[in-house]
Every structure is written in C-alpha cells, then in structure tokens.
Homo-oligomer: A and B are copies of this chain.
Amino acid sequence: MLKMKIILTGVALIVSSLIQSQNSIVHPNLYLTKQDVQLIKENLGTIPLFDNSISTLKAGIDKALNKPIDVPLPKDPAGGYTHTTHKQNYVNMFGAGILWQITGNKVYAEYVKKMLMSYADIYPSLPLHPVEKSYARGKLFWQLLNEAVWLIYADIAYDCIYDFLQGKEREFIENNLLLPYADFLSIKNSRFFNRIHNHGVWAVAAVGMTGFVTDKMELVDRALYGIENKKGKAGFFEQINKLFSPQGYYTEGPYYQRYVLTPFLLFAQSIEINMPEKKIFAYRDSVLQKAVWANLQLTNENGYFFPINDAIKEMSFKSQSMINAVDIIYSQFPKNKYLLSIAKKQNEVIISGAGFKVANALKAGKEKPFKRVSVILGDGSDGNRGAIGILRSTYPSCNITVLMKYATQGLGHGHFDRLSMLMYNDGNEILTDYGAVRFVNILYKEGGRYLPENSTWAKQTIAHNTITIDKRSDFNGNYHIAEKYHSEAFFFNVSNDKVQIMSAKENNAYSNVKLHRTIALVNDTLIFPNPVVVDIFRVSSNEKHTIDIAWHYNGQFMSSNVKYRSYVNTLEPLDLQNGYQHLWVKSEATNNDSCFRFIFMNSNRFYSLTSNLPKTNKVYFVQTGANDPKFNLRCENGIIERIIDYNEYVFVNTLEVFGSHNSISEITKNLNYSIVTTNVVYNDPKYTIVKIYKNDNEKVYLALSNIEKNKKTIHFVSADGKTFSWQGVCHLFNNQ
C-alpha cells in the first residue's frame, strides 16, 4: 500500500506540472492538419473514392448521432456489452471529430465534446476493470491493449474539436481524462509500456499522441525513448529498431504485423507533423515503408495474410489497418505507385491528407500493379535470425506459392513450427496452416480470447507441415527456450524463375537432431509437364527417433497406392499429447510399395503427393476434432508419414499439380501426373542427391551441397553410376 501511494503522488506531480505548459501549437496536429482540411474542403465532390469514403463514414456516424451517448460502467469481457460499447465510442468519436473538421457541422463537434466530457466525468473514479484475465488490466477494458487503442482515437477526436472547446473544457478533459489516462498507460503500467511487442507500440503511440495534442513534450519524450529507468532501451525508436528486420518483417508474423502497423504509422504521422526534424519515415533506411511492402508480400493471391503463428485466416489487406498503412505510406513515399492498386482494391481511403493524396492519385490513374514476388524476408532486428522464404511461380494456368518459415519463434504468439511449409495455388490453400484457435470478439467463444486448443493444437509442431521428432513439439513446447534460437537461412536462389530453391536448417528444436529442409519450385515443362514442388527434408541424429512428417492438406481424398485400413466404427486419437490428442485416426496404412502416393482434389485441380516413405513404415490419415469438447476446432484433414527407429533419413516428397475438373461442365481433363517415385541416391554430411522418376522412366536429379554454400564452389559427386558435377549449393539435373 505504501508503494502504491508513492507512485500515485508521483503521478499527481507530473500531471500538475504538465498542465502548466503553454498551448502554442496549431490544431489539428495528429491525424489531420489545417492544410489537409483546407485541401479536402476545396476538393469535395470532385474525387470519387474520397467522396465515397466520406459518405461511408458519415452514414455510420450519423446513425450513432441518433442514439444517446452511452458510457457504461466497465464490466464485461471482450465481446460483451460494455466492452463493445467503449470500442464503438472511440470509433464514433474519431469519425465525428473528422467530420466536424471536414463539414463544419457542429453536431459532430458537440457529440465528441459530450462524449469526452462523459468519460472525463467518470475516469478519475474508475477502478481497475473487474475481469481479471490479463497480465495488464485496464479500466475501461479488461486488457490495457484495448485501453491504449481507445486513447489514440480519443486523442485524435479531441485534436479535431480542440478549437471548438472552451479553455475550461479542455482543462477538464485533459486533467481528468487524457493526462491521467496517459500516465496510467505508462508510469503506472511500465511493464506494459516498455514492452518491445505490439502491446508496447500501442501504449507508446497513445502516450506520445496525447503529448502532441496536449502539448506536453515530456509525454512525447517518454513515448519516443521510454520511461526514465529504461531511457533509450524502450519507447518508439527502440520498437522500430527491434521489432522490424531490415527488410521490414515484423517478428510476430503477418497477422500481427498488420495490426501493429496502425500505432506505428499513426504515431509516426503525428511525429512527422509535429517534429519533422526527426525524419521518422526515413528512420532506419525507411523501414516503416518496407514494413508495409513486406506485409503485402505476406498475402496470398486473394489478399489474405499467410496464417503463420497466431492468426485469423479471414484477415486480408482490406482491413482498416492496411487501408491506413497504404494511405500513410503512399503519402510519404508517392513513388510507391503499386500502393495505389492496393488502395483501389481496398476501395476506401482514410479521411485525411494521406487518404486524399491516394484518392487523388487514383483519380489521375497513377496506379501501378502490385507484384507478389519470390522473396526472403529476414527476421530479427539485424535480419539474420532466420527468415520467411517465399517462392512464387506463375506457371501457365497456375499461380503457385510456397512459403517456408525458418525464422524466430515470433514472441508469445509464435508457433512451434520450425521449417514448416505452406502451399497455395491461385490463392487456394493447398497445404495449410491452421492459424489460431480463436473467434475474435465473439462472446460465445470465451469472450473472443484465445481458446485452450490454441495452445494444445494450433501452436504444436504436429499441427504444421514439418517434421516432429519423437511425438514432441520443437523445444518441448517451451516458449522461453524457443525464443532463444532461430532457424538458419542456408540458401535462397530465385534467379532462375523456372527452378526456384530455398533451403534452411534447424539445429536447436530437438537436442542432438539436425533438420535441414530444401524446397524447390519447378515450373519448366521441359522438366515436368506440371508445376512440381520438390521437398527434401534431411534429419540426422546420433540417436534413433520416431520421425513424423505431416501434410495438412485442404481437399477431398481421391486415391492412394497404399492399402489403407479405415476405422469405420470407432475413432481414436493418434496419441495423448503435444497436439496428437486432437487428431482422429481415420485410416492407417503400412507402405508396401516403392513409394507412397496420395492424390487429392482442391478447387477443381488435382494434387499428387509422392514420397520415398520406406516400406513397412506407416501412414496415418487424420482429421482434427478429437479432444475438442466445446467444438472449437474446424474439421481439417491431414496425412502423417511416420518412420520409427531412424537416426537419419532424407524424406523426398514431391507435390505435383495436375489435371482439372470443371464442376459446371462436369468435364475432367488430363488426369496424368508425371512423377512415379522418388528416392535418395547419395547422402552424407556434405552432399545429398535425390532422384525423381518421371512416367516415361526419365529421371531428374537434385544435388545439394549440405555445408558449403559458396556460390562459386564446384562440387563433384559419384552416385547412381554417374558423376554429378555442379557449381554452387544446389543443381537440378534433367533427363540424365
């Protein structure tokens, strides 16, 4: 209690000293400027996308204006009534503030004023939120994260009506609401505020923007550099330094990257307005610009973010945060005309100078297409803590994307998915990642929080298209250990568009086990008639292990060459823990052929998985849904190839796209896959050579140098009665 009192006194002093600084700045100065407003007013009715966006905003806010202002006593968890109402209130305030600036209609200003006064009335006496589910409880919300978001938009709303308010009203709002609120987010919750994590970014932006709007530069300083005891080791600059790689990848993954771009860019924009000398958008070689480009690269052909780590699969670049990001970055970097084509698909701009620039440029037809490319996005602040590798190929009639995650754990929302693979064709998920087990903001599902199966299933290694050793997840599922290690980017070469290759290693996920995965995307009809993904997964250890390789496929089972035994009258889970408890075994088989083949159909294309699974080893055909007492999981299908008592093995799997079925004409065409079997003809620590047989007995070899990665080194290996010679890490030999 004593400690608490001291802190409280400290806060009181700060607030009081801040109030005394003078109001010398021109409002609005956070999201809009006087120049912006003038420009917008002059051009009303002339720029369709901008006018439409205003109309949409106006329609929503006008509806809200018709209802009484409702500031309920905080009580409910996420998704509940008071939670939703406080969220809706900041959305409404923000929109009304902007509309007051644009239209000059006083009803909007009055609405914001009343709302802010209502909050200022109750804020000083608000206790901590009654729901105790977060490490950082707020007052209006069960978690400080929502609390910080609220303040950002309240700040902007306040900024918009600043000139409309009387001095006493401003004092009341600042002293009773904004300033103590900012202190609560920072000084009273320093752990939260100082985090190098999306939560911290929201907090910092909220506090910094409060500083700008109230002209309390001490708050801005706190936001930029951290609270006193952490000066320079926390705050906005450090967040920019630590959370993005030089290529703009955000370590939590694309779903959270989209989310965190909002506070990053809103605060950066207000810094640019108020402290242009900081050149914030040029900071770290313009990493904020790169972050938006990287985030867009992390979408599939339909614009949905790759669902690695905790992620909701329905999230796309049409989200408000990406509209915000595209507009702000375009306004700062107008050479990025590809952003305009994204804005066109978003079909909405933000109502600000930034949104105006985008809409105006679109009207002038300046957009250039956005090209999704093959790219390696380094992870870690120096970009050397592994990476996300993406291979893309626009084969005639196919648009294949293969992603491998060989990055860091990705903080608390990271999954134990080292070297896992995702595959898409024309935006259809072929090899899937479950994403998160969560129904955001849906009250029925534990208030929209992460569900238990997120930890027990979605995060586990077996839930991903990678190898699981001894039925345990990477790092034994221990996040703190996992966070220390990253995978190693070994090789990435997309210079030959027809044979693109990426390769990565993971030596820490399992003690005494080395994992090395190489994925080639081959799209050359001279090699295979169809697009083919070749996947070489080397496992080596000094002990024997049970090794599982999982294929979470999206599609309808067509056929397999193995004699599988289906469990038709009773289903049981594959195992008891580490995610296996969620997999019903629908069928199993012992491989008795020279290879294992499985064919499935997705969106009217066929896919053939061909694998060098050794004879007498097992395949399990599984389905999610076991140990899911509350129906939280979707029903999805997978295959697990299992080998037992191996200390080393090289899996050679190929995934070939072939044929087509038209469900309207009911015509099926070209049911001919080309790859009949695969095997390994050479493997030692230095080299691996695999052989892929095509239908007509022609063979393709893929030769890999496993250690030496100098591009100029020439390698010689004798294997399979031939001598292979190649330069660089990897080479594909066709029709030898």
C-alpha spacing A533/B87, complex, angstroms: 33
B315, A628: Cβ atoms closer than 8 Å = no
CA separation between A635 and B445, bound complex, in Å?
Answer: 22
Find out whether the CB atom of A666 lies under 8 angstroms from the CB atom of B440. Answer: yes
Whether A568 touches B668, Cβ cut-off 8 Å, given contacts A444-B558, A663-B315, is no
Interface residues of A in 365-394 (CB under 8 A from B): none
A211-265: which residues lie under 8 A (CB-CB) from chain B?
none
- Contacts A314-B663, A570-B572 given; does A601 touch B668 at CB 8 Å: no
A568 and B663 contact, CB distance less than 8 A: no
**Nearest CB on B from A521, distance (A):** 25
Interface residues of A in 620-653 (CB under 8 A from B): 621, 623, 625-631, 634-635
The distance in angstroms between the C-alpha atoms of A661 and B84, with both chains bound, is 12
Interface string of A289-325 (1 = CB under 8 A from B): 0000000000000000000000010111011100000
The complex places the Cα of A506 from the Cα of B654 at a distance, in Å, of 55
Chain B positions within 8 Å of A442 at CB level: 558, 601, 661, 668
* CA–CA, A556 and B628, complex, Å: 13
- The answer on a CB contact under 8 Å between A570 and B570 is yes
Q: Given the complex, which residues of B lie within 8 Å of A668, measured CB to CB? A: 79, 84, 441-443, 448
| Residues in B whose Cβ lies below 8 Å from that of A631 | 556-557, 566, 586-587, 621
Whether the pair B627, A316 counts as a contact (CB closer than 8 A) is no
Tell me if A569 and B664 are in contact (CB < 8 A): no
Q: How near does chain B come to A440, taking the closest CB pair, in angstroms?
A: 5
Chain B residues whose CB sits within 8 angstroms of the CB of A669 once the complex forms: 84
Please state if A666 and B441 are interface contacts (CB–CB under 8 Å).
yes
Assembled-state Cα–Cα distance A667/B664 (Å): 36
Q: Which of B572, B599, B635, B664 contacts A635 (CB 8 A)?
A: B635
- Give which listed residue, B84, B440, B445, B635, contacts A623 with CB less than 8 A: B635
8 Å CB contacts to B: which residues of A658-673?
661, 663-669, 671
B663 engages A445 (CB within 8 Å) = no
The reply to whether the CB of A719 lies closer than 8 angstroms to some CB of chain B is no
The answer, yes or no, to whether A165 is at the interface (CB within 8 Å) is no
> Whole-angstrom distance between the alpha carbons of A586 and B664 in the complex?
34
Residue of B nearest to A442 (CB): B668
Choice from B84, B569, B573 contacting A572 with Cβ under 8 Å: B569
Smallest beta-carbon distance A254→chain B, Å = 15
- Count of chain copies: 2
Other-chain contact of A667, B441, B621, B629 (Cβ < 8 Å): B441
A571 within 8 A of B: yes
> Using an 8 Å CB-CB cutoff, how does the interface string of A657-696 with B read, 1 for contact, 0 for none?
0000101111111010000000000000000000000000
| A30, B629: Cα distance in complex, Å | 63
Give A314 to B604 CA distance when docked, in angstroms.
Answer: 11
Please tell me which one of the listed residues B79, B319, B440, B628 contacts residue A566 in the complex, with CB atoms under 8 A apart.
B628
Residue of B nearest to A79 (CB): B668
Bound Cα distance from A573 to B318, whole angstroms: 43
Residue A734 CB within 8 A of the other chain? no
Interface status of A727 (Cβ within 8 A of chain B): no
A84 to B668, CA, bound (A): 8
Which residues of the partner chain B approach A318 to less than 8 Å between Cβ atoms?
Answer: 664
Residue in B closest to A672 when the chains form the complex, CB atoms: B81
Q: Is A492 an interface residue (CB 8 A)?
A: no
Q: Is the CB of B586 within 8 A of A625?
A: yes
User: Assuming A661-B441, A665-B319, is B568 touching A570 (CB within 8 A)?
Assistant: no
In the complex, what's the smallest C-beta–C-beta distance from A240 to chain B, in angstroms?
A: 25
Contact assessment for A571 and B584 in the assembled complex, using a CB-CB cutoff below 8 Å: yes
| A599 & B444 in contact (Cβ 8 Å cutoff) | yes
For A559, list chain B residues within 8 Å (CB).
444
Measured CB to CB, the nearest residue on chain B to A557 is: B631
User: Which A422-478 residues sit within 8 Å CB-CB of chain B?
Assistant: 439-445, 448
Residue contact B569 to A570, C-beta cutoff 8 Å: no
A558 nearest in chain B by CB position: B444
Taking CB atoms, residues of chain B closer than 8 Å to A79 are 668, 671
A442-B668, A559-B444, A668-B443 known; A626+B315 contact, CB < 8 A: no
Q: Are A634 and B441 in contact (CB under 8 A)?
A: no
In the complex, chain B residues whose CB is within 8 Å of the CB of A661 = 441-442
Task: List chain B residues, Cβ under 8 A from A558.
Answer: 442, 444-445
User: How far apart sit A87 and B635, CA to CA, in the bound complex (Å)?
Assistant: 37
Pick the residue among B312, B557, B584 that contacts A663 (CB under 8 A).
B312
Kindly state the separation between the CA atoms of A570 and B314 in the bound complex, as whole angstroms: 31
The interface residues of chain B lying within 8 Å CB-to-CB of A443 are 668, 671
Within 8 A of B (CB), among A65-83: 79
Query: Chain B residue with minimal CB distance to A629?
Result: B566
Q: B623 near A556 (CB under 8 angstroms)?
A: no
Enumerate A561-598 residues with CB–CB distance to B below 8 Å: 566, 568-573, 584, 586-587
Q: Which residues of B contact A599 (CB under 8 A)?
A: 444
Is the beta-carbon distance between A314 and B573 smaller than 8 angstroms?
Answer: no
Complex Cα spacing A626 to B630, Å: 20
Q: A556-B631, A569-B627 are in contact. List 20 more A-B contacts (CB 8 A).
A: A84-B668, A87-B667, A318-B664, A319-B664, A319-B665, A439-B556, A439-B601, A441-B661, A441-B667, A442-B601, A442-B668, A443-B668, A444-B558, A444-B559, A444-B599, A445-B558, A568-B626, A568-B628, A570-B572, A586-B631
18 contacts between A and B (CB under 8 A): A79-B671, A315-B663, A318-B664, A319-B665, A320-B664, A441-B666, A441-B667, A442-B558, A442-B601, A444-B559, A448-B668, A556-B634, A557-B630, A566-B631, A569-B573, A571-B584, A587-B629, A623-B625
Q: Across the A-B interface, give the 7 residue pairs with the lowest CB-CB distance, nearest first.
A: A557-B631, A314-B663, A566-B629, A444-B558, A571-B571, A635-B635, A568-B627
Which chain A residues have a beta carbon within 8 Å of chain B's beta carbons? 79, 84, 87, 312, 314-316, 318-320, 439-445, 448, 556-559, 566, 568-573, 584, 586-587, 599, 601, 621, 623, 625-631, 634-635, 661, 663-669, 671
